[in-house]
Chain A
Amino acid sequence: MNEQQRNYVLHTVEERGVRLVRLWFTDVLGNLKSFAISPAELENALEDGMTFDGSSIDGFSRVQESDVLAIPDPNTFEVLPWGDTKAAEARVFCDIHNLDGTPFEGDPRQVLRRNLAAARAMGLTFFVAPDMEFFYFAPPVRGQLPEPLDEAGFFDLTASDVSGSLRKQTIRTLEAMGIPVEYSFHEDAPSQHEIDLRHNDVLSMADSIMTFRLVVKEVAASQGVYASFMPKPHEGVQGSGMHVHLSLFNGEDNAFYSADDDYNLSPIAKHFMAGLLRHAAEITAVTNQTVNSYKRLVPGFEAPVHISWARNNRSGLIRVPIPKKGNPLATRIEYRSPDPACNPYLAFSVLLAAGMRGVQEQYELPAEADANLFQMDDAQLAKLGIDQIPTSLGDALRVMEGSSLVAEALGEHIFEWFLRNKRNEWRAYKAHVSSFEHDRYLRSL
């Protein structure tokens, strides 16, 4: 299989006159990294990989040797739909290996592969579909607040708006790259947009999210606008989330579906949800990795705050959408806290690890929380046994630090590097004196 795929890629490069092949991979914080090779190098790269110095990549550095090997995954080879058609460029995602051929512990894509292997060994395949939210802004001026492109709201159909045509062009580009879009619309806040990707297997989807973020930014830049996946760019309006719809298939059957259950949820689905809920606080630093992430997770903006689940209550962490016409294949759960600034490989890794732990240990699912939790006080919540999602990056890191589940899912290398890096971020933030403090205290104290 692999040999045929390699041949296919080499043929395509030749026939399409590809002049440059970009090798893509992702650092631990979820930034897309790339280096380019000429087509003449590609055959060798597919066979033996390309060596590069990993020490300057965030999260790749190690004490002794720093050289690592990037081996392209021929499955992910795509000719890029932008740029010069006469001198086409292509991209291919890489897996990073140590020089001895073993998977490199600092590579998020390898971490996700490892976490998927556990489910795969049980004959299970995960499918995910993320709802990607983001903002368009006029080019930023340093020291000024970001300026939205429009004043429209949720589902608004705006006439001749710049952002609407940007979204259309973005979708066309995504589809040309084999990333199908299910829905797209204007979100709640001015200049905020949502594009929902159609479900795919987890590894392909993590690759697709990396491509997605680049495409959204590229298309915006081509129109003199910029796009941001910052979780909460504005105080007072909705932030940008990345709700993750998850389903689990056993061959042709949706392992989350059961005809006999009131909720149409199978025991596996319930254990999986219980796993997510029990370990939610531990994995939050990974699904919400910036200081700013926690300004989105506040009451009043449709972002989850409590560790709970419900069918149609959007204040909970997990929602169980009611499928159209009760279609068994569409039964899924929606995990609502992650934001689009996360590293998708690592976020999916910890989500799967938490859920699968619930399945293996047969955790019991707590009762549905269908009341509006935002209206309850702490005592009422405590009575229901409902905890809060960590309220700051500092909190989230503290919980993550004690989690053997996260350490196992990420591997020691990334686990420790991530904690170190993020603690520094939190420390820098804590030392920052903000305009909130000036406004409130400077004159009055």
Chain B
Amino acid sequence: MSAPAEMLAVFPDSPAPDLVRTLDLAGYRWKAVAGADDVARNEPAAGWAGAIVSTDTDGEGAWALCRALRKRDLPVAPLLLLVGGGQLAELALRDELFDDFCLTPFHPIELEARLRHLLWKGGGGVKPDVVEYSALALNVETYQASIEGRPLDLTYMEYELLKFLAQNPGKVFTRELLLSRVWGYEYYGGARTVDVHIRRLRAKLGEEHQNLIQTVRSVGYRFGQSRWG
């Protein structure tokens, strides 16, 4: 079988020797990247065919990269994540950040099979364009939000926070989790930042709808009704 001629991005920029060997043996063309800037700088004319991101050596950098790849105008997809058994818990609530994952240490044949399948599918998982909850609608494609059909003017971070909450209704999030999932690791400023943005979102939702975001005392925040309630 002839391997695809397109270029894959591989993170981190000194990939593990067994990964290098597997990709080379299977005939994939690949380029190591140190982060999002590298991905932009070294992008082939035809665009990246996909990315392989390993969380083994630099977990934070890996997740930051996944997020960056997803948020580009043309997301780099599919994205295959390499993750150690001890890091599996980190996958929780990050489903939107990768298309498939492979446990490390991996079996070369499994890695190759997953990669082939992902590339065959082409394009990765289909995400809904519109997130709706009660009177609130968010268009993920155009970044627009509306409440009862009236446009809701949000700043970028307010929009990202509301999107994350609305995509996970009924679930309680701690401030720390919101900080790491919405702001990402590159942000720093602490849990207070979350409170400030929640308060601003409520102000913009207006009196009638500010209860969409509820404070769960001494835990964090919940969007919409509790699934048990």
Q: Which residues of chain B from 205 to 223 have a CB within 8 Å of any chain A CB?
A: 206
B134 at the interface (CB under 8 A from A): no
**Contact status B196-A201, CB under 8 Å:** yes
For residue B204, which residues in chain A have a CB less than 8 angstroms away from its CB? 175-176, 178
**Which residue of A is nearest B205, CB measured?**
A175
Output the least CB separation between B175 and chain A (Å).
Answer: 8
A252 at the interface (CB under 8 A from B): yes
**Contact status B142-A11, CB under 8 Å:** yes
For residue A199, which residues in chain B have a CB less than 8 angstroms away from its CB? 192, 196
Q: Which residues of chain A from 204 to 232 have a CB within 8 Å of any chain B CB?
A: 204
Q: Say which residue of A15, A176, A204 sits within 8 Å of B203 (CB atoms).
A: A176
**Contact status B203-A201, CB under 8 Å:** no
How many residue pairs link A and B with beta carbons under 8 A? The number is 83
B186 at the interface (CB under 8 A from A): yes
Q: Say which residue of B142, B143, B159, B193 sits within 8 Å of A201 (CB atoms).
A: B193
For residue B155, which residues in chain A have a CB less than 8 angstroms away from its CB? 75-78, 178
**Which residue of B is nearest A76, CB measured?**
B155
A12 at the interface (CB under 8 A from B): yes
**Contact status B156-A9, CB under 8 Å:** yes
A interface residues, how many (CB within 8 angstroms): 37
Mask of B139-156 contacts with A, CB within 8 angstroms, 1/0: 000111000000101111
Mask of A403-421 contacts with B, CB within 8 angstroms, 1/0: 0000000000000000000
**Contact status B156-A249, CB under 8 Å:** no
B interface residues, how many (CB within 8 angstroms): 31
**Contact status A8-B156, CB under 8 Å:** yes
B199 at the interface (CB under 8 A from A): yes
A179 at the interface (CB under 8 A from B): yes
B189 at the interface (CB under 8 A from A): yes
B71 at the interface (CB under 8 A from A): yes
Cα A75 to Cα B73 with chains together (Å)? 19
Q: Which residues of chain B from 145 to 203 have a CB within 8 Å of any chain A CB?
A: 151, 153-159, 175-176, 184, 186-193, 196, 199-200, 202-203
Cα A9 to Cα B144 with chains together (Å)? 11
Interface centre among A9, A11, A75 (most CB of B within 10 A): A11
Output the least CB separation between B165 and chain A (Å).
Answer: 16
Cα A5 to Cα B158 with chains together (Å)? 11
**Which residue of A is nearest B200, CB measured?**
A178
Cα A9 to Cα B184 with chains together (Å)? 20
Question: Can you list 30 A-B pairs, Cβ within 8 angstroms, ordered by A?
Answer: A7-B73, A8-B156, A8-B159, A11-B142, A15-B142, A16-B144, A16-B151, A74-B156, A75-B155, A77-B156, A78-B155, A79-B153, A81-B153, A123-B188, A125-B190, A125-B192, A174-B203, A175-B204, A176-B153, A176-B206, A178-B154, A178-B200, A180-B203, A198-B196, A198-B199, A200-B196, A204-B196, A249-B190, A249-B192, A251-B191
